[in-house]
Amino acid sequence: MNTLEATIRRLTQPVNGQFPRPWMTSMAHPEKARIFIVGNNPATDFPAAMVGSHDDYIDALFNRNDRSCRELYDQLRGDKGPSPTRKNIDMVRKNLARESLFDVIETNVICYSTPRSSDLTLVKNQGGKAVGRHIFEEVLAIVRPKVLIAHGAGTIKELGRVFSTQLPVAAQEQADDVSCVRIRTILRGVSYAPIVFVVPSLAPPKWNVWQKWAEPHLAEMCAQVWEFLNSNQQDTCA
């Protein structure tokens, strides 16, 4: 068992009746991910009573033993189908796939589910919020992705707190360039210098404001991600 799995096993015991959600990925070895797509917190919870045993859940997270992250998500969503935000994240993934980028984890700064991000302030969710933030920071420290894609103003603010810096504002209109910055920090005593790309929210209603120009903007961002990962200069952002 590798360090990431041991950590996830320890931190994903049920909280308030749900399994914390560290990620969505198609990778069998998420410790090898170079790209994180980061939101604020997931909306669809994974009730422990519906998921099964903790071992079953771990198998789904690591896409093994005939279980998978997406299959579990789709099962729990049932007739509702994927959420609007999930469909938009799928669109980002498709744009990354066009650039032959598949080593991706979809995660959240707070890996604990509530219907709305504002619900994290409720007393009943205080413990889950703390656990969820700790999970993200542990996964980040172990995987150390080269690229993070943060979507939504709330996410950008919270991720800035993780890195103890202020991240740039996402594009506000179609004419704006893709917004990104290189972070230079120390993570668990070791230098860490990923590039963080920021885009407007992928969740309604904020999504509705920019959806008409989202596709070309996201396609350009994904092209820049490829350029950063494959360029000898690796200086896409300042």
Question: Are the C-beta atoms of 27 and 148 separated by less than 8 Å?
Answer: no
Kindly report whether the peptide bond that precedes residue 205 is cis, defined as omega within 30 degrees of 0.
yes
Are β-strands 190-192 and 185-187 bridged in parallel, bridged antiparallel, or unpaired? antiparallel
Output DSSP code: residue 24: B
CA angle 167-173-177, nearest 5°? Answer: 60
Question: Are the C-beta atoms of 118 and 40 separated by less than 8 Å?
Answer: no
120: number of Cβ within 10 Å: 19
- Asked whether residue 238 is assigned to any structural domain, the reply reads no
The answer, yes or no, to whether residue 238 has pLDDT greater than 70, is: no
Amino acid occupying residue 112: Y
What is the tally of structural domains in the chain?
A: 1
Question: Are the C-beta atoms of 180 and 196 separated by less than 8 Å?
Answer: yes
Q: Which residues constitute the domain of residue 55?
A: 3-230
- Asked whether residue 236 is assigned to any structural domain, the reply reads no
What is the percentage of the chain residues whose pLDDT exceeds 90? 90
184-233 residue pLDDT tens: 999 999 999 999 999 999 999 999 999 999 999 999 999 999 999 998 65
Give the CATH number for residue 129.
3.40.470
Residue 215 CA, distance from chain mean position: 19
- Asked whether residue 235 is assigned to any structural domain, the reply reads no
- What whole-number distance in Å separates Cα of residue 32 and Cα of residue 83? 27
Residue 87 CA, distance from chain mean position: 14
9-61 residue pLDDT tens: 999 999 999 999 999 999 999 999 999 999 999 999 999 999 999 999 999 99
The pLDDT score that the predictor gives to residue 118 is 87
- What whole-number distance in Å separates Cα of residue 139 and Cα of residue 110? 11
Helix and strand numbers (H, E) in the chain are: 9, 7
| Adjacent-strand bridge partners of 35 | 104, 147
Mean per-residue pLDDT, 95-115: 97
The pLDDT score that the predictor gives to residue 31 is 97
Are β-strands 195-199 and 147-151 bridged in parallel, bridged antiparallel, or unpaired? parallel
Mean per-residue pLDDT, 60-68: 97
- Asked whether residue 43 is assigned to any structural domain, the reply reads yes
CA torsion sign, 197 to 134 to 110 to 11? positive
- Asked whether residue 24 is assigned to any structural domain, the reply reads yes
- Asked whether residue 35 is assigned to any structural domain, the reply reads yes
The answer, yes or no, to whether residue 80 has pLDDT greater than 90, is: yes
The pLDDT score that the predictor gives to residue 229 is 95
Average pLDDT, the chain: 95
Q: What is the pTM of this model?
A: 0.95
- What whole-number distance in Å separates Cα of residue 15 and Cα of residue 23? 16
- Asked whether residue 155 is assigned to any structural domain, the reply reads yes
Mean per-residue pLDDT, 130-137: 96
- What whole-number distance in Å separates Cα of residue 4 and Cα of residue 142? 7
The pLDDT score that the predictor gives to residue 85 is 96
Helices (H), the chain: 3-11, 48-51, 54-61, 69-77, 84-98, 126-143, 153-163, 206-210, 214-230
| Adjacent-strand bridge partners of 106 | 24, 37
- Asked whether residue 52 is assigned to any structural domain, the reply reads yes
